[in-house]
Amino acid sequence: MFLENCEILENKLVAGHNYLMKVKGDKTVKAAKAGQFYMLQCKNGVYFLRRPISLHYADKENNILEFYYEIKGGGTKDLASMKAGEIINIQGPLGTGFTTEISGKELLVVGGGMGMAPMKLLIEVLSKNNKVTFIAGGRNREAMEIMSNFNLDGIENYITTDDGSVGIHGNVIVKMEELMKAKKYDMVFTCGPQKMMEAVAKTAKKFETKCEISLEARMACGVKACVGCSIKTKFGMKKVCHDGPVFDSETIVD
């Protein structure tokens, strides 16, 4: 874990309240793993607490980190107000990411809404040595705008929207069931709204497939020093910022 002052290269509105920030880093980029997160310091120190933001992508050749985030309150609004050329202090990478040391497997990645954030890097890393299928879901076209920032060349992928404005009309579970009936997947990875992840985990279990889920929690310190992110699991209390945010779904979901 490193603390670094990074130059903001870009901080643009993607759609709705969702932003994409690109920063130039060094050690914070080299150590990055899919599924981890960073604590970003807000502008001017107005908000004392840093904001936990999922890693969207790490371009290790060019030392660039990408964060896809949503304005949820004053802190993230403050982040969204920062401009290219400004310096932001970031802390990370933090937490336990997805399992990526896998090869020769059939893998299914399911992202929903803002849960698409960790999937860009995850898909790139996994697809180097595995066959990856990606299902991306959201409420509407606006929620899917981030897809233009993904590189899905050679990746079997499907988009679903609740209102049918783009892709398949429906939710990710319908498509997931269809794919899992037709083919045996070795592992499922998911991030998205809680209800969606529970349904993905249950579907994976039905097809006897291991599943990893990335949880969201309120975080104050991000480094295991408070109790802000504690959750109850089948194996006792765990801290999302340290033991997660990625967990084996069997730990969390019945």
Residues at the contact surface with ligand FES, assessed by CB under 6 A: 219-222, 224-226, 228-229, 239, 241
- Nearest distance from residue 215's CB to ligand FES, in Å? 11
Nearer to ligand FES, 211 or 240 (CB): 240
Chain centre to alpha carbon of residue 231: 19
- Nearest distance from residue 122's CB to ligand FES, in Å? 22
- Nearest distance from residue 231's CB to ligand FES, in Å? 10
Beta bridge partners of 132: 107
d(CA 97, CA 35): 4
Nearer to ligand FES, 132 or 229 (CB): 229
Residue 142 and residue 163 in contact, taking contact as beta carbons nearer than 8 Å: no
- Nearest distance from residue 225's CB to ligand FES, in Å? 5
Nearer to ligand FES, 97 or 112 (CB): 97
Nearer to ligand FES, 67 or 150 (CB): 67
Residue written as tokens 């066959």? 131
- What's the first-to-final CA gap in the chain, in angstroms? 33
- Nearest distance from residue 242's CB to ligand FES, in Å? 6
Q: What angle do CA 226, 229, 235 make, to 5 degrees?
A: 105
Nearer to ligand FES, 204 or 219 (CB): 219
Nearer to ligand FES, 112 or 118 (CB): 118
Strand order in the sheet with 246-248: 168-169, 156-161, 131-138, 106-112, 187-191, 210-214, 246-248
Residue 40 and residue 67 in contact, taking contact as beta carbons nearer than 8 Å: yes
d(CA 224, CA 242): 6
DSSP string, 111-142: EEGGGGTTHHHHHHHHHTTSEEEEEEEESSTG
Beta bridge partners of 136: 111, 159
- Nearest distance from residue 197's CB to ligand FES, in Å? 19
- Nearest distance from residue 239's CB to ligand FES, in Å? 5
- Note if the bond before 245 is cis, omega within 30 degrees: yes
Nearer to ligand FES, 35 or 222 (CB): 222
